[in-house]
Amino acid sequence: MTADRPRTLRDVAAELGISAKTVSNAFSRPDQLSPQLREQVLATARRLGYPGPNPLAAGLRRGRVGAIGVAYDNGLSYAFDDPVAVALLAGVSAVAEPAGAGLLLIPGSTDGRRRLAAVSGAVVDGLLVVSTGDDDPLLAAAVARGLPLAVVDQPRPDRLAALGAPGTPWVGVDDRAAAAAVAGHLLALGHRRLAVVSFGMHRDPIRPGLAGERVQAAATYAVTRDRLAGYRDAVERAGLDWASVPVWHGGDSTPAVGAAGAEAVLATDPAPTALLCLSDRLAEGALAAAAGRGLRVPADLSVAGFDDAGPAAGLRLTTVRQPTRDKGGAAARGLLDRIAGRPAPPPRVLPAELVVRATTGPAPVS
Amino acid sequence: MTADRPRTLRDVAAELGISAKTVSNAFSRPDQLSPQLREQVLATARRLGYPGPNPLAAGLRRGRVGAIGVAYDNGLSYAFDDPVAVALLAGVSAVAEPAGAGLLLIPGSTDGRRRLAAVSGAVVDGLLVVSTGDDDPLLAAAVARGLPLAVVDQPRPDRLAALGAPGTPWVGVDDRAAAAAVAGHLLALGHRRLAVVSFGMHRDPIRPGLAGERVQAAATYAVTRDRLAGYRDAVERAGLDWASVPVWHGGDSTPAVGAAGAEAVLATDPAPTALLCLSDRLAEGALAAAAGRGLRVPADLSVAGFDDAGPAAGLRLTTVRQPTRDKGGAAARGLLDRIAGRPAPPPRVLPAELVVRATTGPAPVS
DNA sequence: CCTGCGTGCTTCATCGATGAAGAAGACGGG
DNA sequence: CCCGTCTTCTTCATCGATGAAGCACGCAGG
């Protein structure tokens, strides 16, 4: 039996009585040695069961490993359940794959320490940070790595500069304008009693409930903040008082949370005639809650979402279409540019548009 | 200005006049030095902008990088579009994440060389190979790495043993029995003219069309082979001739391919009254094709899928429910076991069950 | 015949960290 | 007062490869 210790370059070199470097060249730089010797080296490698240069060692020496890391605000497991996250990853991989780059999905964790350790310890050439809060230490850890970085959605470019990462490729949409558009749509339909169902405003878990203006302004998620600001813009433009609009916020962007939020705001008095949900998944839950209460949509209640992902079309949901896939692609491209030493592209605001479907209609004549 | 060269352990050590090893310990083994010194080290590290031990170098020395690789038969980009693949990844990540392991999605490529290079060069502690053909060099490359391995669906355990990887954790379902169950269901409904719409039988792209028994038997995808064998079992058990059942095969598992396949088999004479699709996505396309032809489902045509993933429930599709997510989870667990040096779990056949919904019904009385 | 250059291979240092083993001082027990 | 043990830190070798530079040889040109 042969020794079962993993083989190295030196083993192959020793077997043939040549230098290790030549064996290395046989694998990595075929032009550096004669074809005959190369064949001989490869044959010997096969015979000895040498799997080719250890990528880890090669990576250390070369300073490249051929992978980009994706750090997601929430955990991975959550990411795969969220159509928006999946679409984003699809966009990232569509760009990374042809470039030959692997995608390292960095594990999240409820334990903050481990969460950061995963970022610090990721074996990658660059990091793609997706949608984190303004003060998330995850981002600080990413910046600390000193690796090329790219950011999707949040924090915003100005915040990135403040965090010591100016010139970081950034991709997002104009959340504020888009939110104003949906709200404006509902107001134009005659709705005067709106309510908002939002996901979390801060990373830290909160007790779900109504959020006053103070809480809203203090939201560390820029996306949340801006969408709320957009709703507010439209509401005030219509001459209404933002303070009279109940804004409920819960945890993650899931149907369950959306349902809970809808229940909560529908219980307020006077009851709203239209719900502005910060995501389609929340809207999905809101629709379920409405159905549970026997409310007809849109006759009794209008519901609007945000994202236009996953089942939005199937639910005939009025929402904002975000080019989620493109966001991933553009961010990946920006990151790969930085890795290759090319200049960082400027922050990129992709278009978002209102998509009116069947879940919004004229306000009921109460 | 400080020099912008990345800092290393030695820089920090030199700054404090202590050994590099002590700095290393400050980060990795806090119990090995006094708390005061540790604080001092960390503070100095912060001050110098040292991002903590280089994961690559640490990985090389330790022989661990904290990530598992996922190699998918088709490319990544495709994977994110396929609900089955996404569910599988969700299962994998649900297990990997709490274990603190990252998920490296290995890029595919149309270029065979690069495809293999990506596997050979992946910086991981183990490889999860998902659903490859029996003779796919990808698998050989994975085996050659000498890393812990786990396989989902195919190749089957016997084939793995033949490839020099006996004892590899394997997870799948009994495709043959499950396929026999769907086909049996249709036969019990009185259908006598069945047709099959299949995805590819080999990795190499083929011209879509009808596949004779010879081609079927030569399929290098074990899953395809077994599902066809299952259909055949049921057909012959019902006293029918398998050779009279048109079996169409195309490329990927997509609605477009399914629609093309449905068109093709519906054009045969006598036209089938029931379609057996090898996946839900194919079935999705088949339903669209049927609608396009003005066929009522299931009055005029019954359609059955396989997987019970994604929109199957929404489409009210009769199908086979596979525990896709659990497959991913079990495979990941098996792989992590191997990485941790624990014995490999035996091959695991998870349950699959027929789910009858609204797309299958009694054969039309022609 | 000498110079100059390209080919093919080697030597050496290095990438950045960590395991194993060891030394210096502190401390407690007999 | 001495010895053993613990704590705290150090030294040394090593993980497996590759960039840079160098050496030897062959061949063409003057």
Contact B275, B264 (CB under 8 A): no
State the SS3 of A238-265.
CCCCHHHCCEEECCCCCHHHHHHHHHHH
**What is the model's pLDDT at position A109?**
87
The answer to whether A76 contacts B65, with C-beta atoms less than 8 Å apart, is no
Confidence of residue A1 (pLDDT cuts 50, 70, 90): very low
Chain B residues 21 to 40 whose Cβ lies within 7 Å of strand D are: 21-22, 25, 32-34, 37
- Residues from chain A contacting residue B98 (CB–CB below 8 Å): 109
> CA-to-C1' distance for A62 and C13, Å?
15
The model's pLDDT over B279-318, given as tens digits with 9 standing for 90+, comes to: 999 999 999 999 999 999 899 999 999 999 888 998 999 9
- Window 305-344 of A: residues touching B by CB (8 A cutoff) are 311, 314
The model's pLDDT over A9-65, given as tens digits with 9 standing for 90+, comes to: 999 999 999 999 999 999 999 988 999 999 999 999 999 999 999 999 999 999 999
Within this chain, domains B67-173+329-350 and B175-322 share the same CATH topology: yes
**What is the model's pLDDT at position B4?**
67
Contact A219, A271 (CB under 8 A): no
What mean pLDDT comes out for the span A134-157?
94
**What is the model's pLDDT at position A206?**
82
| CATH fold of B175-322 | Rossmann fold (3.40.50)
* Residues with Cβ within 8 Å of residue A324, at least 6 apart in sequence: A84, A87, A88, A91, A307, A309
For all residues of chain B together, what is the average pLDDT? 94
Q: Among residues of chain B, what percentage have pLDDT more than 90?
A: 85
**CB of A146 nearer than 7 A to strand C:** no
**What is the model's pLDDT at position B1?**
40
> What is residue B112's DSSP assignment?
H
A155 cis-preceded (ω within 30 degrees of 0): yes
Domain locations along chain A: 67-173+329-350, 175-322
The model's pLDDT over B102-140, given as tens digits with 9 standing for 90+, comes to: 999 999 888 888 999 999 999 999 999 999 999 999 999
**What is the model's pLDDT at position A19?**
92
**CB of A61 nearer than 7 A to strand C:** yes
Contact A71, A130 (CB under 8 A): yes
What mean pLDDT comes out for the span B151-161?
95
Exposure letters B322-353 (e unless 16+ CB within 10 A, then b): bbbbbbbbbbbbbbbbbbeeeebbebbeeebe
User: Would you list the DSSP string of B317-340?
Assistant: -BEEE--HHHHHHHHHHHHHHHHT
Query: How big is the CA angle at A343 (ends A339 and A344), to the nearest 5 degrees?
Result: 80
Examine the pLDDT at B200 and tell me if it is beyond 70: yes
**Which has more pLDDT, A75 or A127?**
A127
**What is the model's pLDDT at position A2?**
43
What mean pLDDT comes out for the span A4-10?
85
Confidence of residue B70 (pLDDT cuts 50, 70, 90): very high
Examine the pLDDT at B3 and tell me if it is beyond 70: no
- Window 30-69 of B: residues touching A by CB (8 A cutoff) are 49, 51-52, 54-60, 65-67, 69
What mean pLDDT comes out for the span B252-276?
95
What mean pLDDT comes out for the span B147-173?
94
B270 cis-preceded (ω within 30 degrees of 0): yes
- CA within 13 Å, CB half, A139: 28
The model's pLDDT over A169-191, given as tens digits with 9 standing for 90+, comes to: 999 999 999 999 999 999 999 99
Q: Rounded distance, CA B173 to CA A353, Å?
A: 44
The model's pLDDT over A303-326, given as tens digits with 9 standing for 90+, comes to: 999 999 988 998 999 999 999 999
Element (H, E) at A80: helix A76-81
Examine the pLDDT at B214 and tell me if it is beyond 50: yes
**What is the model's pLDDT at position A74?**
86
> CA-to-C1' distance for A7 and D22, Å?
28
- Window 164-183 of A: residues touching B by CB (8 A cutoff) are none
**Which has more pLDDT, B4 or A341?**
A341
Contact B46, A140 (CB under 8 A): no
> CA-to-C1' distance for A48 and D18, Å?
22
Nucleotides of D under 7 A from a protein CB: 7-12, 14-20
The answer to whether A80 contacts B93, with C-beta atoms less than 8 Å apart, is yes
**What is the model's pLDDT at position A366?**
66
Confidence of residue A338 (pLDDT cuts 50, 70, 90): very high
- Residues from chain A contacting residue B105 (CB–CB below 8 Å): 93, 102-105
| CATH fold of B67-173+329-350 | Rossmann fold (3.40.50)
Q: Does B108 touch chain A (CB under 8 A)?
A: yes
Examine the pLDDT at A93 and tell me if it is beyond 90: yes
The model's pLDDT over B40-57, given as tens digits with 9 standing for 90+, comes to: 999 999 999 999 999 999
- Residues from chain A contacting residue B87 (CB–CB below 8 Å): 80
